[in-house]
Amino acid sequence: MKSRSAYLYLLPVLIGFTVFTLGPVMASLYLSLTHYEIAAAPVFVGLLNYKQLLNEQLFWQVVGNTFYYAFLYVPLSVGVSLALALLLEKKIRGITFFRTVYFLPVVTSMVAAAIIWTWIYNGDIGLLNYLLSLFGINGPKWLQNPHWALPAIALMSVWKNAGYNMMIFLAGLANIPTDYHEAARLDGASSFARFREITLPLISPVLFFVLVVTTIGAFQVFEQTYVMTNGGPGTSTLTLSYYIWQTAFSFFNLGSASALGYLFFIIVLVMTAIQFQVRKRWVYQS
Partner 1 sequence: MTLLRRLSLLLLLLTTASSCGKKDTATSGKTHIKLVHFYLDQKDTWQHDVVDPFMAAHPGIEVEVEAIPFGLYTTKILSAAASGSSVGDVVVIDDWFGQELFKRNYTIPLDSLFHRDLKEDDFYSQFFTVWRMGNVANAPLMAMPASGGVTALFYNKDLFDKAGVNYPDSTWTYADFLTAARKLTNNATDPHQKNWGVLLDDGLFTGIDTYIYSNGGKILSDDKTHSAMMEPATIAAVQSYVDLIQKEHVAPAPDPSQLLGQKFMLGHAAMMLHADVAKTELAHATFKWNVAAPPKGSAGLFDRQYGQAFGITKTSEHPDSAWELIKWIVTVPGKKGINELFNSAMPLNRALANSPEFLEGAQKCDRRALLDINNSGHVFTLITPGWQEWRDHGFTPNMQDMLAGRKSVHDGCKAIDEKINEVLSRSRAQ
| Residue 230 touches partner 1, criterion: CB under 8 A | yes
| Residue 246 touches partner 1, criterion: CB under 8 A | yes
Near partner 1 by CB under 8 A: residue from 41, 107, 134, 186: 41
Measured in whole angstroms, the distance separating CA 264 from the mean position of its chain's CA atoms is: 14
Q: Which stretch binds partner 1 (CB under 8 A): 22-30, 117-125, 161-169, 197-205?
A: 117-125
Near partner 1 by CB under 8 A: residue from 25, 26, 38, 83: 38
By CB under 8 A, what part of segment 252-271 binds partner 1?
A: 252-253
CB atoms within 10 A of CB 160: 19
| Residue 40 touches partner 1, criterion: CB under 8 A | yes
Q: Which stretch binds partner 1 (CB under 8 A): 31-39, 64-72, 161-169, 198-206?
A: 31-39
Number of residues engaging partner 1 in binding (CB under 8 A): 34
Near partner 1 by CB under 8 A: residue from 141, 217, 271, 283: 141
CB atoms within 10 A of CB 190: 10
Helix (H) or strand (E) holding 285: none
Omega into 201 within 30° of 0, i.e. cis?
no
Residue (140 or 201) nearer to partner 1, CB: 140
Q: Which stretch binds partner 1 (CB under 8 A): 63-71, 178-186, 225-233, 258-266?
A: 225-233
Residues 6+ apart with CB under 8 A from 172: 85, 202, 203, 205, 206, 207
List Cα–Cα distances, 180 to 84, 204, 285, in angstroms. Answer: 21, 16, 16
Q: Are 62 and 235 in contact (CB under 8 A)?
A: yes
Q: CA 153 to CA 171: how far, in whole Å? A: 28
Reduce the secondary structure of 86-154 to three states and give it as a string: HHHCCCCCCHHHHHHHHHHHHHCCHHHHHHHHHHHCCCCCCHHHHHHHHCCCCCCCCCCCCCCHHHHHH
Near partner 1 by CB under 8 A: residue from 14, 26, 47, 58: 58
Near partner 1 by CB under 8 A: residue from 73, 102, 121, 219: 121
In the complex, minimum distance from the CB of residue 245 to partner 1, in angstroms, rounded to a whole number: 11
Q: Are 152 and 143 in contact (CB under 8 A)?
A: yes
Residue (118 or 241) nearer to partner 1, CB: 118
Near partner 1 by CB under 8 A: residue from 7, 30, 71, 249: 249
Q: Which residues bind partner 1 (CB under 8 A)?
A: 8, 35, 37-41, 43, 58, 118, 121-125, 141, 143-144, 146, 228-235, 246-247, 249-253
